[in-house]
Amino acid sequence: MKDTASGPTTAVSNPPVQPTEAYFDQGDITRISATRNVPQPDRELTKLAKLIDVSKCIGCKACQSACVEWNDTDPGVGENVGVYENPHDLTPDMFTLMRFSEWENPVTNELEWLIRKDGCMHCEDPGCLKACPAPGAIVQYSNGIVDFNHDNCIGCGYCVTGCPFNIPRISDTDHKSYKCTLCSDRVAVGQGPACAKACPTQAIVFGTKDDMKAHAEGRIEDLKSRGYENAGLYDPEGVGGTHVMYVLHHRDQPGLYANLPEEPRISPVVEGWKGVTKTAGLAVMGIAAAGAALHGLFARPNEVEEHDEVEADRLVDGRDPQDGGQV
Amino acid sequence: MTNAWTDIKNTDLVVVMGGNAAEAHPCGFKWVTEAKARRGAKLIVVDPRFTRTASVADYYAPIRPGADIAFLMGVIRWCMENDKVQWEYVRNYTNAAFLVKDGFGWSEGMFNGYDEETRSYDMDDWEYQIGDDGFAMIDPTLQDPRCVWNLLREHVDVYTPEFVENVTGTPKDKFLTICEMIGECSAPDRVMTSVYALGWTQHSKGAQNIRGMAMLQLILGNIGMMGGGVNALRGHANIQGLTDLGLMSNLIPGYMNIPRDTEVDFETYIAGKANAPLRPNQISYWQNYPKFFVSFQKAMWGDAATAENDWAYDYLPKLDVPTYDILRMFDMMSKGEVNLYFCQGFNPFLSFPNRAKLLSALSKLKLLVVMDPLQTETAHFWQDHGIYNDVDMASIQTEVLELPTTCFAEDEGATVNSGRWLQWHWPGATAPGQAKPDTWIMSNIFLRVRELYRTEGGVFPDPIVNLNWEYEDPMEPSPEELAKEMNGRALRDVYDLADPEKLLVPAGEQVSTFAHLRDDGSTMAGCWIFSGSFTPEGNMMARRDNSDLGDTGTFLKWSFAWPLNRRILYNRASADMKGRPWDPERTLIEWNGEKWVGFDVPDTAPTAKPDEVMPFIMTHEGTGRLFSRKMMVDGPFPTHMEPFESPVENVLNRKMRGNPAARIFPGDLEQLGSSADFPFVATSYRLTEHFHYWTKHNKVNAALQPEFFVEISEELAADRGITKGGRVRVWSNRGEIWAKAVVTKRIKPMICDGKPVHVVGIPLHWGFMGAAKKGFGPNSLTPFVGDANIQTPEYKAFLVNIEPAAEEPVA
C-alpha cells in the first residue's frame, strides 16, 4: 500500500483509506460570485462528476443519512404526511433527498416506482453563482464543483431564484444559503462524496466526468437490453452540462422523476443581469457583505450599469418570500 | 444460506419471494445489483406490495399474503409438465426414485392419518419402503407409481395456473411468464437463486414455504451450484450465530437436540441418533453425532463428564414438550406460571404477537430482568404512555431490573452472517456509562448462583457446581477464550482412527477440523460446526485477505465459514456423476480422477468417488429430499394451507382453518377474527430507514422515517374514505392502533376465490421509547400462533379492519 493515494479516480469501489495529498484548493477557483475578472489558475483540473444511476437506486436513503452525518446537520424528526419523502423537501439541514414517484407506464401497463436522489447538480454554468450578489459567497473550481462560502453569504435568496433545479435553501437560523457541496472537503483530500461511499448498490458513483460518462454508456446499454428503449444520460446542455448526472430509464421524460426539468436553463432574468452584482443591489437590501476569505476577491471594483440596477430591483421586488429570502 | 452473499453475483436469475432484500438487506442486495450489471441477470419479485426491490426488478407479480405454497407448487407442476427438469440431477441427486410406503396419501387438502383432537398426523407411513437389504427401495426408471417423483406429480396436479390465480391472486399471465423465466434455469448452464427472509418464515406454515422453493431448486438442479441455492437472509447481524449456537429451547450448539424426557438415558438418546445410511456407500454424516455430543459435554463439564456417568447426560434438562419457545413461555407467563424472566438482547413486548396478552403476561411476573444496550419497550411495559401504552401502572407489581449492556460496536468477537461466515470484529467505541458486556453480566450472575449452590446445596446442584469455568478472569471470559472453547481442543493425544500410530492432535492443542473430534472423552468442542475457526494457526475468523481465486466469489481467505470454511453447501452437486462441472463456466470443484479439487472446500469426503457417493452427505439417503419423510409435522410435501386468519376459505377443504398441524393455545383460538368482521388482509414488514426497534433511538434514522404509518391501495382508501396523510384506526380481534395513511399505487386489490382482497401494509419500527414519534408495532394486532414446526409467529398474514380516525388531540 502506498503511503499516499493519488487524486480521485472512479470511485466505484471503496475510496482509498490512506492519507492523501491535498488535491485542490482555493487556487483552483475559476469563478466567484459578484466578482469580475477572477484571475485564472495556472492549472486546470480534470472535470469531476457524480453519476446517479436511477435504475440501480433502491431508495434506501443511506445517501441522506451519510450526508447528515458528514455535514453534521440536524434535519429534525418530522411527521409522515402520506409519502416516503422525509424530510418533505430539501432543507438547510438536508442537502439531498430521495424523491419517490409512482408511475403507471401506459406502454407496458406496469407500475414503476421511480426514485431519484435530488440535490445540487453542480452546473457547469451555475445559475446560483450568476445570480448571487454577494462577492465570494459562491465559487466554482476548475473541476466543476460549485461551492458556497457561508462567511460571505448574505441570505438574500438570489441563488434560489437563479437555480434551474430549485436546490438551495436559506436557513431560518443563520440566514445563510445551503446546498450539497459535492463534499468538496472530502474530494479535496482524495475521498469520494459521502453519499457515494454509503450507497450500497453503487447507484452513486464518482470520478472524472469522462469516466462517469463512459460508465453511464454501459449502464444505458444494459437498460436498453432490458426494454428501456429511451434510457439515457441526463447531462443537460442548457446549463453547460452538470457535474451531477443521472442515468434515467426514461431519458425522454425527465419530468417523471419528481419533475426533473426537461431543459433546465438559467432564468433569463439572471442571465440578463450578466451574472454581475453591484453595490447598489446590496444597498437595496441593507446588508453588507462581510469578509473576503478568498484570494483576489475585492481586487477589482465591480462595474454597475443602469440596466443592472433595473434588473436587480426586479429581482428583489419579485422575490418570492417562500424562497426564504431575507429583507 | 446454502451459498453466500458474494455468490449472488454468479447467478442468472434472482427470485425474491418471501422477502424484500433491497429494503431489508440493502447492503447484501449489492450482489444482486452486481449480477444484474455484470452478468445481465434478471430479477423477479413476487410480493403483495410493489416494494423497493420491485422498483429495480425486471419482473414483478403480486401475490396474496400467505398463498406462497400454491404459487410454488404451481411452478413445480409447470416445470414437470413442460420438461423443465434437470433430469440427471433429479434422478441421481434427489430422492425422486425412492419408493414410499403405501399408506402415505393425500386428499381434500390433508394427508392421511390426521387426528383433530391432537392436531397432529400419524406419520408412520411418511417413509420409504425398505428392502430386504435394509436399504430404501428405489426405481431409477421413475416408473413405479409409488416413487417420490410420481407421488409429487400427483400431489401438484391440482395446482394448475387457473388454480394458482384463483388462490394467490397472481394474474395467470404473470404467473406463466415467471414460470417460463424460472424454467430456463433447468438448463445445466443456467442458474437461479432464491433469496427470502421473514416473508416466508413468519407464517403458520413458514417452513413449508421454504420447502417448496428447496424442492423447486432441486428439480432445476440449482442446489450446490455457484449462483444457486436457497438463501435465507437473516434479520439480525448475528441471528445465524444464535441458531448455530443452539440458543433455542430445544437445541444445543451445532444443531444437536436437547433430550426429550422420553430419552431417559444416554443409550436411548444416542440410539435415536443412529443415522445409518439408507442407501449403499452413502456418508450420512450425522453418524458422527456421538463424537460431537460427547465433545460438547466435555466442553460443558470437563472432568465431571466421564464414560462412567455417560458424559454427564443427566446434567442436561429433558424436555417434556417439543419446545419451550417464546410463544409457550408467554402463554405460561400469562397464566402466572413464570416468576422470573431474563430478557437478553430482545424486545418481546414489540416483537411477539398479541401485545395485550404480552402485557398481561409481563404483569404477572415477579421479576423481569432486561439486558439491553437500549431502553426497550419491554423494560418499560409498565409505564403509561397514553394511547401508545395505555396501562394502569398501579396495578402492575412486576419488579423490573434494567442491566445496560454493550452493543455490537462496543464488543469484540465474531458475528455469523447469513452466509455462515464468522467474521471477527473489534470494538469501535468504548461503552457508555455502566454498560457491560453480556458475558460479564452472565458470569457474575453465574458465579453468585454457583456459590449459593455450593454453600446451601439444592435439589440437583451438580450441573451448576461442576460447570467447566476455566477462564483467566472468571468474572469476564474473553471473546478469544470463548471462541477457542467453541472450536474445541484435544484433551488427550488424538490419533487417526485408520492409523493408530498417526498422531493427529497432541493433547492441549486446538483441533483444526471436527473430523478430529472423538466420542471417548479425548476431545472437547463447544460447537462442533465452528471447529476450524480457531486453530493452532490462530484466529481464522479474523482473516482479512480478500483475494478470490478463480473469481468465484468464494473468498476462502476472508474470515471463516462453517463448516470447514466451505462457502457453498452441497457443492459436490455442482458436478455430474463423473465429477465434471455441470457448467464449465461455473467450475467450483471437480474430480481429478483421485480426489476433489477446486475453488471451494469440497462438500464430500476428499476421495469420495463421484459415481458412488451422492452429494447430500448430511442426509441418510445421500440425496436431496423432494419428499421430506417425517421431518416436518405438517407433511412430506407442502400443501396449500390458508393463514389462521384468511379472507377466503381453503379451496381444497373449506372446513380447514390455518395449518391443521400447528399448535394453538386455548384462548388464542377464540381470539381469531373472521373475514366478516375483519375484511382486510394485513401484512407486516421492515423499512430500509430503520433496523427493527433499535434505530428509532437514533435521530438520523428517526428523521428519515419519523412516524408510524400504514399503507393501503387507492381503491381501499376511496372505499373507506381515507385520505393520503390522514390518520386511521386499524383494529383486529386482539387490539387497535392509530397511524398515518400512505395511499399508494404500489398496493392493489386482488381477486381471490371470486372476491376482491385488499391488503393493509403495516411496517414495524415504532414504539413508545426513543427519538422517533411515538407509534405502534403490528404486534398489537397479530395472532398468537406460530409455524407448525418452529413456532415463528404468523406476522405476515392476518385480518384487520380500517377506518379514518380523528386527528390526534394536541396534548
Element (H, E) at B761: strand B759-763
B698 touches chain A (CB under 8 A): no
Q: Bridge-partner residues for A118, per DSSP?
A: A97
Q: Could you give the CA distance from residue B744 to residue B419 in angstroms, rounded to a whole number?
A: 35
Residue A202 predicted with pLDDT over 50: yes
Tell me if A58 and B40 make a contact (CB, 8 A cut-off). no
The stretch A299-309 carries a mean pLDDT of 47
Question: Least CA distance to A69: which residue of chain B?
Answer: B700
- Per-residue confidence (pLDDT) for residue A23, from 0 to 100: 80
Disruptive mutation site among B181, B704, B765 for chain A (greatest number of A CBs within 10 Å): B704
Question: Least CA distance to B723: which residue of chain A?
Answer: A82
Q: Could you give the CA distance from residue B505 to residue B503 in angstroms, rounded to a whole number?
A: 6
Question: Least CA distance to B698: which residue of chain A?
Answer: A77
Cα A64–Cα A66–Cα A71 angle in degrees, nearest 5: 100
Q: Using one digit for the tens of pLDDT, what is the confidence trace for A17-32?
A: 566 667 888 899 999 9
- Per-residue confidence (pLDDT) for residue B224, from 0 to 100: 98
Rounded to 10 degrees, the C-alpha dihedral B27/B29/B32/B38 comes to -20
Low-confidence ranges of chain B (pLDDT < 50): none
- Per-residue confidence (pLDDT) for residue A315, from 0 to 100: 53
* CA-atom Rg of chain A in angstroms: 20
The upper half-sphere exposure of residue B221, i.e. CA atoms within 13 Å in the direction of its Cβ, equals 25
Tell me if B709 and A82 make a contact (CB, 8 A cut-off). yes
The upper half-sphere exposure of residue A235, i.e. CA atoms within 13 Å in the direction of its Cβ, equals 21
Q: Could you give the CA distance from residue B513 to residue B523 in angstroms, rounded to a whole number?
A: 12
Question: Least CA distance to B35: which residue of chain A?
Answer: A201
CB-based contact B72:B216 (threshold 8 Å): yes
- Per-residue confidence (pLDDT) for residue A313, from 0 to 100: 54
Count of residues for chain A? Answer: 327
Of A82, A200, A219, the CB nearest to B743: A82
Q: Could you give the CA distance from residue B106 to residue B45 in angstroms, rounded to a whole number?
A: 31
Quote the crossing angle between the two packed helices A209-225 and B30-39, to the nearest 10°: 80
Q: Which residues of B touch A65 (CB under 8 A)?
A: 700-701, 704
Query: What is the distance in angstroms between the Cα of A24 and the nearest Cα belonging to chain B?
Result: 31
Closest CA to A319 of A139, A169, A156: A156
Q: Could you give the CA distance from residue B388 to residue B768 in angstroms, rounded to a whole number?
A: 6
B37 touches chain A (CB under 8 A): yes
Of A60, A76, A80, the CB nearest to B740: A80
- The dihedrals phi and psi of B234, each to the nearest 5 degrees, come to -80, 150
Q: Which residues of B touch A84 (CB under 8 A)?
A: 742
Element (H, E) at B193: strand B192-196
Q: Which residues of B touch A226 (CB under 8 A)?
A: 58
- Per-residue confidence (pLDDT) for residue B75, from 0 to 100: 98
Respond yes or no on whether the N-terminal peptide bond of residue B763 is cis (omega within 30° of 0).
no
Cell numbers that stand for B438 in this block: 453480556
Tell me if A201 and B702 make a contact (CB, 8 A cut-off). no
Per-window interface: B 735-754 vs A, CB < 8 A? 740-746
Disruptive mutation site among B700, B701, B713, B769 for chain A (greatest number of A CBs within 10 Å): B700
Q: Which residues of B touch A109 (CB under 8 A)?
A: none
Respond yes or no on whether the N-terminal peptide bond of residue B463 is cis (omega within 30° of 0).
no
Per-window interface: B 43-102 vs A, CB < 8 A? 50, 52-56, 58, 60
Q: Using one digit for the tens of pLDDT, what is the confidence trace for A240-285?
A: 999 999 999 999 999 999 999 999 998 888 877 654 444 444 444 4
Kindly tell me the sign of the dihedral angle through the C-alpha atoms of A145, A150, A152, A155: positive
Q: Which residues of A touch B704 (CB under 8 A)?
A: 61, 64-65, 86
Q: Could you give the CA distance from residue B507 to residue A201 in angstroms, rounded to a whole number?
A: 49
Tell me if B37 and A219 make a contact (CB, 8 A cut-off). yes
Query: What is the distance in angstroms between the Cα of B404 and the nearest Cα belonging to chain A?
Result: 26
Q: Which residues of A touch B33 (CB under 8 A)?
A: 56, 201-203
- Per-residue confidence (pLDDT) for residue A314, from 0 to 100: 55
Q: Could you give the CA distance from residue B12 to residue A307 in angstroms, rounded to a whole number?
A: 64
Query: What is the distance in angstroms between the Cα of A70 and the nearest Cα belonging to chain B?
Result: 12
The upper half-sphere exposure of residue B595, i.e. CA atoms within 13 Å in the direction of its Cβ, equals 7
Buried-exposed string B409-434: b where 16+ CB fall within 10 A, e elsewhere: ebbebbbbbbbbbbbbbeeeeebeee
Tell me if B707 and A80 make a contact (CB, 8 A cut-off). yes
Position A287 confidence tier, pLDDT thresholds 50, 70, 90: very low
Kindly tell me the sign of the dihedral angle through the C-alpha atoms of B47, B53, B54, B55: positive
Query: What is the distance in angstroms between the Cα of B365 and the nearest Cα belonging to chain A?
Result: 36
Q: Which residues of B touch A202 (CB under 8 A)?
A: 30, 33
Interface predicted TM-score (ipTM): 0.94
CB-based contact A254:A262 (threshold 8 Å): yes
Of B30, B688, B708, the CB nearest to A202: B30
Query: What is the distance in angstroms between the Cα of B218 and the nearest Cα belonging to chain A?
Result: 28
Q: Could you give the CA distance from residue B561 to residue B355 in angstroms, rounded to a whole number?
A: 38
Q: Could you give the CA distance from residue A44 to residue A141 in angstroms, rounded to a whole number?
A: 9
Q: Could you give the CA distance from residue B59 to residue B166 in angstroms, rounded to a whole number?
A: 20
- Per-residue confidence (pLDDT) for residue A278, from 0 to 100: 44
Disruptive mutation site among A195, A201, A215 for chain B (greatest number of B CBs within 10 Å): A201
Question: Least CA distance to B42: which residue of chain A?
Answer: A226
- Per-residue confidence (pLDDT) for residue B187, from 0 to 100: 98
How does the average pLDDT of chain B come out, rounded?
97
Tell me if B700 and A62 make a contact (CB, 8 A cut-off). no
Query: Left (φ > 0), alpha (ψ -120 to 50) or beta: where does A222 sit?
Result: alpha
Q: Which residues of A touch B726 (CB under 8 A)?
A: 82
Tell me if B56 and A102 make a contact (CB, 8 A cut-off). no
Position A319 confidence tier, pLDDT thresholds 50, 70, 90: very low
Residue A323 predicted with pLDDT over 70: no
Q: Which residues of A touch B546 (CB under 8 A)?
A: none
- Per-residue confidence (pLDDT) for residue A22, from 0 to 100: 72
B685 touches chain A (CB under 8 A): no
Of A58, A65, A200, the CB nearest to B704: A65
Q: Using one digit for the tens of pLDDT, what is the confidence trace for B617-671?
A: 999 999 999 999 999 999 999 999 999 999 999 999 999 999 999 999 999 999 9
A with B: how many residue pairs have Cβ under 8 Å apart? Answer: 122
Q: Which residues of A touch B744 (CB under 8 A)?
A: 102
Of A58, A82, A104, the CB nearest to B740: A82
Tell me if A202 and B704 make a contact (CB, 8 A cut-off). no
Cell numbers that stand for B420 in this block: 455462515
Question: Least CA distance to A102: which residue of chain B?
Answer: B745
Query: What is the distance in angstroms between the Cα of B55 and the nearest Cα belonging to chain A?
Result: 5
Per-window interface: B 705-734 vs A, CB < 8 A? 705-709, 723-726
Q: Using one digit for the tens of pLDDT, what is the confidence trace for B756-766?
A: 999 999 999 99
Question: Least CA distance to B690: which residue of chain A?
Answer: A60
What beta strand segments (E) does B548-670 contain? 560-561, 589-591, 596-598
Q: Using one digit for the tens of pLDDT, what is the confidence trace for B162-174?
A: 999 999 999 999 9
Q: Where are the alpha helices (DSSP H) in B251-379?
A: 266-271, 289-301, 326-334, 348-351, 355-363
Question: Least CA distance to B59: which residue of chain A?
Answer: A110
3-state SS string for B104-167: CCEECCEECCEECCCCEECCCCCCECECCCCCECECCCCCCCCEHHHHHHHHHCCCCHHHHHHH
Secondary structure of residue B604 in the 3-state scheme: coil
Tell me if B688 and A58 make a contact (CB, 8 A cut-off). yes
Closest CA to B486 of B422, B431, B432: B422
Interface of A with B (CB under 8 A): 55-62, 64-65, 68-69, 74-84, 86-87, 94, 102, 104, 110-115, 200-203, 219, 222, 225-226
Cell numbers that stand for B158 in this block: 391440482
Which residue type does B44 have?
Answer: I
How does the average pLDDT of chain A come out, rounded?
84
Q: Could you give the CA distance from residue B617 to residue B606 in angstroms, rounded to a whole number?
A: 12
Of B703, B726, B745, the CB nearest to A87: B703
Cell numbers that stand for B452 in this block: 449459593
Q: Which residues of B touch A114 (CB under 8 A)?
A: 55
Q: Using one digit for the tens of pLDDT, what is the confidence trace for B503-515?
A: 999 999 999 999 9
CB-based contact A198:A66 (threshold 8 Å): yes
